[in-house]
Structures are given as structure tokens and as C-alpha cells.
Amino acid sequence: MKHIGIVAVSSEGAALCYRTICLESSEFLGPHEHPEITLHGFSLGRYQRLIDEDRWDAVGEMMLGSAAKLVESGAQLLICPDNTVHQGLDLVRERSPAPWMHIAEEVAGEARRRGFSRLGILGTRYLMEGPVYPSKLAPLEIEASHSDRRTA
């Protein structure tokens, strides 16, 4: 059983990710069982300032900072439940101290497994205008239609 590290950006995403891991794990591990989970998060405001300044490399560096803290605490697998910041992750992932579950790769893989050729994606303007989903869906010949919430 892996020790999972959650790289928290938004409190909503981190809380939902933690809860989902705990609830879904019992199907595989038995009643009331889930892997060890550690969570680290810098302020969403710090991330948002960098996103607003189009400094995706610095967003990635912050994610690596969380990753280092999580690996130091024993995490063997890293997850970030916030779609938008994966644009920064893609720039620094090869330097990560542990493997990541990349949110768009997981979505693309599941879409392919189910035989989908087109997905509807909802997200922030940054996500909709950025490369996170197109870079993972296009190689699998999966189209994405999208809509944004007009907020960060």
C-alpha cells in the first residue's frame, strides 16, 4: 500500500481528494481501510499571484516544494487535485522526488479505456486556454470541448 502525498492548492480540491481516497479505498483494501495520506499546501493566494503573472515555472517550483515535504514525510506517490496548476507541474515533473498521478493523464486514459472520442471539460480560464488537457488528449486523438467559469 502506497503512502499518498496530496499537493494542496485549493482547500476544496484537497478536501475532496482526501475524502475520495478514504471512501474509495475501502473497495480495494477492506472496510474502513485507506492508505496513509499526508497533505501539504502553500497559500492559494501565492499560487494565484504566480498564475496571474503567467509564471508557470514558479508554480511548478512551488509544487516541487510541497512534493519534497511530502516525500520527506514518507509519501511515495503524489497527487494534486487542482487541474490548472498542472501546467506548472508539466515544466518540473522530471525533477520530482516521487512519481505523480497527473490529473489530465488519468482523465485521458479513462476516456480512452471507455472509447470516448470527445470530452467536455469545465474549468478556469487558465485551464481552458492552457495546454494541460490538450497536451494529454491530442496524442490519443480525443477532442475536448470546453467552457470556462471566467474566474481563476
43: exposed, middle or buried (C-beta count within 10 Å: 0-12, 13-18, 19+)?
A: exposed
Confidence of residue 126 (pLDDT cuts 50, 70, 90): confident
Please provide the size of the chain in residues.
152
Q: What is the pLDDT of residue 1?
A: 72
> One-letter amino acid identity for 93?
R
Query: Average pLDDT, stretch 93-112?
Result: 95
Domains of the chain: 1-101 (3.40.50.1860), 102-152 (no CATH)
What CA–CA distance (Å, rounded) separates 126 from 80? 16
Distances (CA, A) of 144 to 26, 126, 150: 32, 15, 18
Please enumerate in sequence order all residues whose Cβ is within 8 A of that of 36, keeping only pairs 6 or more positions apart, or say none. Answer: 1, 3, 4, 74
Give the confidence band of 123 by pLDDT, cuts at 50, 70, 90. Answer: confident
What predicted TM-score, i.e. pTM, was given to this entire model? 0.89
Three-state SS at 84: coil
Instruction: For 19-39, write each residue's pLDDT tens digit.
Output: 999 999 999 999 999 999 999
Digit-coded pLDDT (tens) for 39-83:
999 999 999 999 999 999 999 999 999 999 999 999 999 999 999
**Mean pLDDT taken over the chain:** 93
Q: Is the dihedral of CA 44, 46, 49, 53 positive or negative?
A: negative
- H/E run at residue 148: strand 143-148
